[in-house]
Amino acid sequence: MIKYFMIAVLAAVLLLPIGSAQNPNAHRFAAFKATDSLVSAAEVITIQQPATGGKFTRIEKVEAWCSVACDITLERDGTAATGTSFTTSVVTFGTAVMNAFHTSDVGVGTVITTKTLPANTIIPIVFDGGLYLAPTGTGSNFTIRTSDITGDVKITIIWRERG
């Protein structure tokens, strides 16, 4: 009986760190932008680290929808955006340190991928293992850019912050 009790206590002690681990959904945020009536123009959404006080950021998922066929390009680490900022949404709790920009004037960064999106189709792009951005200033950013279209666009970027 004592043997089983000792095994149970040992198991409880060993499993304690697992139960107290940080919630994997903690500090999760989203930037969502719906743009109606583009006329031969692109929509560009960027999230970027602040100049100071950034956090390690993991891009988890991007979704894009266009009312007409379009190309979407995912980029990272372009010249800092300074254009129109907008408020991000809190998915779990906390305050995001990443800044979001729409109709972004971010400089073209390293292209991760380009996808062709048929009209009225949502394309979810999930980064298995995540795409990480270090807290190294405003040049650490992630951008989704549509081709020039005449139509409507909806874009969502979901990420987590830590540190």
Q: Which is more confidently placed, 90 or 143? A: 143
For the chain, how far is it from start to end, CA to CA, in angstroms?
A: 45
Per residue in 113-137, is it b (16+ CB within 10 Å) or e — as a string?
Answer: eeeebeeeeeeebebeeebebebee
Q: Is the pLDDT of residue 72 over 60?
A: yes
What's the whole-number mean pLDDT along residues 77-90? 89
pLDDT value, residue 23 = 56
The answer to whether the beta carbons of residues 51 and 158 sit under 8 Å apart is no
pLDDT value, residue 160 = 94
Lowest mean pLDDT among 34-38, 103-107, 145-149: 103-107
What structural domains does the chain harbor?
25-162 (2.60.120)
Would you give the distance in Å from CA 96 to the centre of its chain? 11
pLDDT value, residue 12 = 43
Residue 6: band (very low, low, confident or very high) from pLDDT cuts 50, 70, 90: very low
* Residues 6+ positions from 140 with CB-CB distance below 8 Å: 48, 49, 54, 57, 77, 133, 134
- HEC readout, 62-124: EEEEECCCEEEEEEECCCCCCCEEECCEECCCCCCCCEEEECCCCCCCEEEEEEEECCCEEEE
Q: State how far the Cα of 125 lies from the Cα of 61, in Å rounded to an integer.
A: 6
Per the confidence metrics, is the pTM higher than 0.85?
no
